[in-house]
Structure formats: structure tokens, C-alpha cells
Amino acid sequence: MGDMAAIRANSVLPARREAITLHTADGLELVGEIALPLDREPVATIVCLHPLPTHGGMMDSHVFRKAAFRLPALAGVAVLRFNTRGTSSAQGTSQGEFDHARGEAYDVAAAIEYAEFHDLPDIWVVGWSFGTDLTLMHGNDPAVKGAILLSPPLRFSDVEHLEAWAESGKPLTALVPEHDDYLQPPEAEERFAIVPQAEVVGVEGAKHLWVGDAETVLDEIVRRVAPETAVPLPREWEGAMETADTSAYNDKNLAAFKDVPVPGPQAD
């Protein structure tokens, strides 16, 4: 028996990780990564849609980075991350330019298509902040089983997108921080009431960026996409474990953009 070591923010558990390129229908190449369980087939798949790139959002934003570091090993979940058009991270820069949730429709489609083409099971879309708008607007694809929204601001998406999800009948969970900057649990309950199957989960003490609450988020994701996996997930690991250098992400911390105006939808 080996020694048990605490799983920390930068801990990287064993997985099959591969840099991928997504190809959009409008001709762009997007930087991405797929992380798969090392010694088994995945039980489910999450496609991660990151926060606003104009405010530091990227495929390496901390919740999604930790999902890729941990979930393949702890829950058998495949994690597909990518940079939407014009977005940069330590992994690289995707072609194109930020398009206020319009051209990003092609980005979301390309990611779902990749998962479907590679026969990844039980595809769920997990959006965070701006990524929740992309999920609601463009993630209601026939190949998608359901969606999980982290800190949904409902800024770019509107009633017609919620109505489409309601009609689909697909599971839709919104994890809403108690102290969110844009939409807090009481209002979220009202806004999502249009979707009968929507589950709004208020997270006590949490804020929009989920700093200090990533473990709670990962547990709630796994609870829905891989219900046969016991949660809370282990906080310790026995065996090989690497430590990631995350210093490259410091200048893109979402908190660094707190005084920058947040873009909204653009009229045609």
C-alpha cells in the first residue's frame, strides 16, 4: 500500500491527455484538450464552455482545469476543454475573434461533434458564466444528454432559449452562488421557473468565481453526470500524482478583470 497524499489545487491525477484541434463549420481551428480515464472507458463526458474571454475566461480557468486534472481518475469522466474563438491560454490561441455569443455557436457545435464522432458516452455540456449563455443558446444539441450551468448570468441568452430547453425535457441544473455578482439564487429560481425540469441549486457562501468551492462544484457535476460514483469525491490519492505549474495563468485570473466593463449582446 502506498501513502495517501492530499489532492491540492495543482494536483494532476493520472489520465490519458491529448491536445486536440477542433474545426468549426466557418473554417476556424480551436485549441483544445481531451482528458480520458487512464485504465478504463469513460462513463460520461463533459464538454466545458469557459467564462468570458474578455475577462480572463479560458479552457484553463480553475474549475475546468481541476475537472480535467481529477475527474478522469476519480469518476471515470472524460473532460473536453477548448478555447473559444479568439481565446488564449497556456495551451495556445484559437483562431478568430470574440463574437458576443454569435459565432461561438460554431465553436460549441465543433466540440459536441468531436465528442460524438469519437463515440464518447453520455455527453453533458457544462458552462460557466458566459459559458452558461453559450450552453443555453447553442448547447441544446440532439447528441447532448443534459447541461449544468455554473454561475449563470443570463446575459446573452433569453427566454426563447429557456423555452427550448423546457421543450427538450433534458436535465438542466444551475449551480448558483449565494453571493453571485449577476444572478443570486432567489432570482435564479424565478428566471428558471420557465423550465419545469430545471434544478436550481443555491451554494451557500459561494461567489461567482467559485474560489475555494471548486470541490463542491466537481461533486455536484459528478452527482449528475456519473450518478453511480460516490460523492463527495476523494480528497486524497494513493499512487502517482504530478503537480502542475499554474503560474502562466496568474495574469488571466478572472478577478484581475473586475473593473473592466462586461460586454453584452450586440444588436445586428
Please tell me what DSSP assigns to residue 228: T
Which CATH number applies to 11-257? 3.40.50.1820
Q: Is the Cα torsion angle 244, 247, 248, 252 positive or negative in sign?
A: positive
DSSP line for 35-75: EE-SSS--SEEEEEE-S-GGGT--TTSHHHHHHHHHHHHHH
What HEC string does 78-126 produce? EEEEECCCCCEECCEECCCCCCCCCCHHHHHHHHHHHHHHCCCCCEEEE
Phi, psi of 190 (to 5 degrees): -70, -45
**57-85 residue pLDDT tens:** 999 999 999 999 999 999 999 999 999 99
pLDDT in tens, 156-180: 999 999 999 999 999 999 999 999 9
* pTM, rounded to two decimals: 0.94
| φ, ψ for residue 159, nearest 5 deg | -60, -40
Q: For 213, which DSSP code? A: -
Q: What's the rounded Cα separation, in Å, for the pair 167 and 196?
A: 9
**Domain locations in the chain?**
11-257
**How confident is the model over 89-139, as pLDDT tens digits?**
999 999 999 999 999 999 999 999 999 999 999 999 999 999 999 999 999
Examine residue 232 and say whether the peptide bond preceding it is cis (omega within 30 degrees of 0).
yes
